[in-house]
A and B are shown apart, each in its own frame.
Chain A
Amino acid sequence: MNQDEFSFRVRQALNEGAEQLDYRTVVRLEQARARALARQRRAGPATVRLPALQLATAGAPPANLGSGAWGWLRGAGLVAPVVALAIGFVAISQWQEELEIQRLAALDFAVLLDEGPLDAYADRGFGELLLAERPANR
């Protein structure tokens, strides 16, 4: 008997075995199938992508911002959050830069006054840091 014939007969036997499952198992398999079908993923409606910062009035006719002083104020109200955000970014950037300068200054003082721990000079990373600072100081 060759391999294909042998495997075919084994397959038949396995199919017979699968058909001889006890009632309890068959019921549990049916229950599992029902649960799975209840959670079947369905193709949802097509996703429409919108710009994240699109105004709520998008798609509607151009809003009438009014006239005169009130109209100008409404226009400013729309732009103000963007401006505030930009100012915030600049302020945070400045603040971070200031902190970095203070940290490097403290480090320079510590080196000049020999107040740094001895271990720092043995540390390879510390040496690399000093070398990295050198071009900036020149």
Chain B
Amino acid sequence: MATREELSEFLAGVERRAFKQAVFAVRDESHALDIVQDAMMKIAEKYGDRPAAELPLLFTRILQNVIHDFFRRSKVRSTWVTLFSALTPADDPDADPLETLDASGDARSESTEATYEREQVVAIIEAEVAKLPARQREAFLLRYWEDLDTAETAAAMGCSEGSVKTHCSRATHALAKALRERGVTL
């Protein structure tokens, strides 16, 4: 059984990634925080007595379920949100962080400039990950960010291993193409 310390350590280790995944999915930080909190409550209340080794996969599945529940509850609203965010012009600083680059940054030190550029690259990657189709993004993040194997990813997503491989491959190619078009080299 997971002790309180083990559960606390586990949640502290996954909460930021969980939050980011929720943000990618629902595109709203406030809702994403609610989703992560909901997932944390569920794993603590219902599975708090499970062994610590079982927690990662359980939490992954709970988080995906809570995200799906969120979409089910607010289907109409999310449809509009998705529509508007898809139509958001590129001058949105969140959608295109490169445009926030300040041309008058000559006074900055080189290291500061490098850090800033890296932050912009990270922001672009996050924005492009968020633009992936939901299932592709889910598969890509579970497989490559959460480090689940194909079978675990398939179990968490409720689909076949073949589908996971297809989703991951498509996501990788779409992401690489989008980053290349935006001039980002990894």
By a beta-carbon cutoff of 8 Å, the part of chain A in contact with chain B is 1, 3, 6-11, 13-21, 25-26, 28-29, 32-33, 35-37, 39-43
Given contacts A3-B172, A18-B17, A40-B7, contact A35 B48 (CB under 8 A): no
Contact B126 A11 (CB under 8 A): no
Chain B residues closer than 8 Å to A17, beta-carbon distance: 20, 122-123, 125-126
Per the bound structure, the CA–CA distance linking A11 and B122 in Å amounts to 10
Chain A residues closer than 8 Å to B43, beta-carbon distance: 36
Contact B7 A29 (CB under 8 A): no
CB interface residues, B 39-55, toward A, < 8 Å: 40-41, 43-49
Per the bound structure, the CA–CA distance linking A11 and B140 in Å amounts to 10
Per the bound structure, the CA–CA distance linking A20 and B115 in Å amounts to 12
Per the bound structure, the CA–CA distance linking A18 and B44 in Å amounts to 23
Chain B residues closer than 8 Å to A42, beta-carbon distance: 48-49
Chain A residues closer than 8 Å to B175, beta-carbon distance: 6, 10
B36 within 8 Å of A by Cβ? yes
Q: How far is the CB of B82 from chain A (nearest CB, A)?
A: 21
Per the bound structure, the CA–CA distance linking A2 and B8 in Å amounts to 37
Contact A18 B144 (CB under 8 A): no
**When each residue 16-44 of chain B gets 1 if its CB lies under 8 Å from chain A and 0 otherwise, what string results?**
11011000000001000100110011011
Q: How far is the CB of A32 from chain B (nearest CB, A)?
A: 4
B85 within 8 Å of A by Cβ? no
Contact A36 B40 (CB under 8 A): yes
Given contacts A7-B172, A28-B33, contact A19 B20 (CB under 8 A): no
B119 within 8 Å of A by Cβ? yes
Given contacts A14-B129, A18-B17, A35-B37, contact A40 B172 (CB under 8 A): no
Contact B41 A39 (CB under 8 A): yes
Contact B186 A9 (CB under 8 A): yes
